[in-house]
């Protein structure tokens, strides 16, 4: 079964308004000509700017079938008195189709546990959007050889409440926390080993056909000089790129390396 290749750029809390627009414009410019149609030869490119830029970036990319837009977070509730929160439906109404849920920075700094992430996944899917669900172990868990158990539990508790017919809206991102923003990427073999394990978990929970269609992205210090090796692995379907997505030339180089 052929899976979509996807490169997503997670800008995190970076770029002021003009800078963000410029970055999006430079990426679109750099990729246009290659991304006008979904040829299948070019990955789907997803830009995840800070939420205040979503609408502008969505408008800027709206004619490019190969470029879509994601939010980095969404509320665990549909609407109402939740000061400061942004709902999945609002994100959709701004023109985004994807939401990153469960990023390790959300888990670590904002206390998002599996119970809240489960609610967020429900909100994203209910709003008709796609979820990019992040999993990954911290260094100590890998050193203790608990990384497979940790990732399995994150999937079970945050994602596996979804029914089979909702899995078409799911992308999984494996992001070992020890590799995020540290310059220490997982080796292609380490990435492949965990991606294969995640696919096996998806097979166990759903079935082989569904597992074979869900894209699994790698994230963690992915850069132009290491991306090709990681993306060449059979169960790695693309990347979730942080630091290297803040520079158009680097991001485009990563896109083209797949």
Assess whether 141 carries a catalytic annotation.
Answer: no
Q: Which is nearer to ligand PGA, 124 or 240 (CB)?
A: 240
Q: Which residue in 85, 103, 169, 208 is the catalytic one?
A: 103
Length of the chain measured in residues: 258
CB of 38 to ligand PGA, least distance (A): 24
Q: Which is nearer to ligand PGA, 102 or 243 (CB)?
A: 243
Q: Which is nearer to ligand PGA, 7 or 244 (CB)?
A: 244
Residue nearest to ligand PGA (CB): 242
Residues at the interface with ligand PGA (CB under 6 A): 10, 175, 180-181, 219-222, 240-244
Assess whether 195 carries a catalytic annotation.
Answer: no
Q: Which residue in 105, 112, 137, 175 is the catalytic one?
A: 175
Q: Which is nearer to ligand PGA, 20 or 242 (CB)?
A: 242
The pair of structure tokens assigned to 4 is 């979509």
Q: List residues with catalytic annotation.
A: 103, 175
């Amino acid at each position: 079964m052929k899976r979509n290749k996807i490169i997503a750029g997670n800008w995190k809390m970076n770029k002021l308004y003009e800078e963000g627009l410029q970055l999006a414009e430079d990426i679109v410019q750099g990729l246009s000509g290659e991304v006008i149609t979904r040829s299948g030869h070019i990955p789907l490119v997803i830009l995840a700017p800070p939420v205040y830029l979503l609408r502008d970036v969505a408008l800027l990319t709206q004619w490019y079938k190969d470029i879509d837009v994601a939010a980095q977070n969404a509320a665990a509730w549909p609407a109402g008195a939740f000061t400061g929160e942004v709902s999945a439906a609002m994100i959709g109404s701004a023109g985004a189709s994807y939401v990153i849920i469960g990023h390790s920075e959300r888990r670590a700094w904002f206390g998002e546990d599996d119970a809240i992430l489960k609610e967020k996944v429900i909100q994203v899917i209910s709003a008709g959007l796609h979820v990019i669900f992040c999993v990954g172990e911290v260094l100590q868990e890998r050193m203790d050889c608990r990384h497979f158990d940790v990732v399995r539990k994150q999937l079970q508790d945050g994602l596996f409440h979804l029914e089979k017919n909702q899995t078409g809206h799911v992308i999984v991102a494996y992001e070992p926390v020890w590799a995020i923003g540290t310059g220490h990427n997982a080796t292609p073999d380490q990435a492949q080993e965990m991606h294969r394990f995640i696919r096996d978990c998806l097979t166990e929970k759903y079935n082989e056909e569904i597992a074979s269609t869900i894209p699994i992205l790698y994230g963690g210090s992915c850069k132009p000089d290491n991306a090709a090796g990681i993306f060449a692995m059979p169960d790695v379907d693309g990347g979730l790129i942080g630091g290297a997505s803040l520079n158009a030339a680097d991001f485009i180089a990563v896109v083209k390396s797949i």
